[in-house]
Amino acid sequence: MKHNEPKFFFLIIGTEILNRRRQDRHFDFVSQALLERGYKLSGSFTIEDDPELIVKTLKFLAEIPESVVFSFGGIGSTPDDHTRLAAAEALRDGKLVTQPEAKAIIEERLKTMEVPDKRYPLRMAELPEGARLLKNNPVNGMPGFYLDDRFFFVPGFPEMAHPMILEALDRFFPHQEQKSVRKTLTALTRESALIDVMEHLPEGVELSSLPKLYSDGPRVVISLSGEDPKAVQEAYDRFVQALEERDIPYSEGDDTSQ
């Protein structure tokens, strides 16, 4: 896969997150790890342990050009672990095969574990055709797996999963130079006062408008980013001109003082 402009997606598979039995500990980690490497997260999904829903979600993400998916949870050996088979159905021929390297790793690990029936852990070696392994699991050594250098499947436990994600990033998505520039201002007005400016920005400039309401009145934080510094500056100047013409006070940067 040619990674010109990868679009990164984050997928949590876990009913326990949706029903609040556990708290998400992945989103901040993934988004920060990407930012540190010069990338950004394009979307995040949290879905229940429903086989059909997992398949449909993976198919949807696979259809997005240059998509890269980090999937957390459901690769174990219990009956509610559906991700391995769902990945095979969404991305392969729907069948699981024993991955020899995974089987050898699990068998070796089982020698040091008290497991009543070792057949069940060995299910984790049954993976979609062509799966390769993510081995950086400092907790119990059980591997994750990936397909096509763009679909990465790891356990739901952060202590196991996060080192595997870093392994995948280091292998396939090394640090890149930050190409985008950003300019931000805070205006003492409602964002509706600047919609006309927002609708006519230079091409290639990404806009973020964040309204805030304080005891002393409304504010809006305007953030502009892009790879062309000249276009970003032009967009910024348009906001400044409009604010000055309308006698609306503003300041550079994101006002987080209140």
In this prediction, residue 8 carries a pLDDT of 98
pLDDT of residue 3: 46
The CA R_g of the chain, rounded to the nearest whole Å, is 23
pLDDT at residue 56, as a whole number:
98
- pLDDT, residue 119, reads 84
pLDDT value of position 111: 86
Tell me if 48 sits within 8 A of 12, measured CB to CB: no
In this predicted structure, what is the pLDDT of residue 126? Answer: 97
Burial of 11 by CB count in 10 Å (0-12 exposed, 13-18 middle, 19+ buried)? buried
Which parts of the chain fold into alpha helices (H)? 15-18, 27-36, 51-62, 83-91, 100-110, 158-172, 195-198, 229-245
Q: Is the CATH number 3.40.980.10 carried by domain 7-172?
A: yes
Render each residue's pLDDT in the chain as its tens digit; 258 residues: 444 789 999 999 998 999 999 999 999 999 999 988 989 899 999 999 999 999 999 999 999 999 999 999 999 999 999 999 999 999 999 999 999 999 999 999 888 877 778 788 899 999 999 999 999 999 999 999 999 999 999 999 999 999 999 999 999 998 877 677 899 999 999 999 999 999 999 998 999 999 998 888 999 999 999 889 999 999 999 999 999 999 999 999 876 544
By the 8 A CB rule, do 147 and 91 touch? yes
Q: At 136, which amino acid appears?
A: N
Residue showing tokens 């040619």: 2
Per-residue confidence (pLDDT) for residue 5, from 0 to 100: 84
Measured CA angle at 33 (ends 30, 37), to 5 deg? 135
Predicted TM-score (pTM) of the model is 0.80
Residue-range domain boundaries for the chain: 7-172, 181-252
Tabulate helix, strand, coil % of the chain (nearest 5): 35, 25, 40
- Tell which residue, 201, 217, 200, 132, has the closest CA to residue 167: 132
d(CA 26, CA 166): 12
Q: Which residues pair with 223 in a beta bridge?
A: 184, 208
How far is residue 160's CA from residue 140's CA, in Å, rounded to a whole number?
8
In this predicted structure, what is the pLDDT of residue 258? 41
Helix (H) / strand (E) containing 97: strand 96-98
pLDDT at 255: 63
139: Cβ–Cβ under 8 A, 6 or more apart, which residues? Answer: 157, 159, 160
**Element holding 213 (H helix, E strand):** strand 206-214
181-252 has which CATH code? 3.30.70.1130
Q: What separation in angstroms does the CA of 95 have from each of 13, 53, 84?
A: 20, 18, 10
- Alpha-helix residue ranges (DSSP H) falling in 82-225: 83-91, 100-110, 158-172, 195-198
Structure tokens at 218: 């409304």
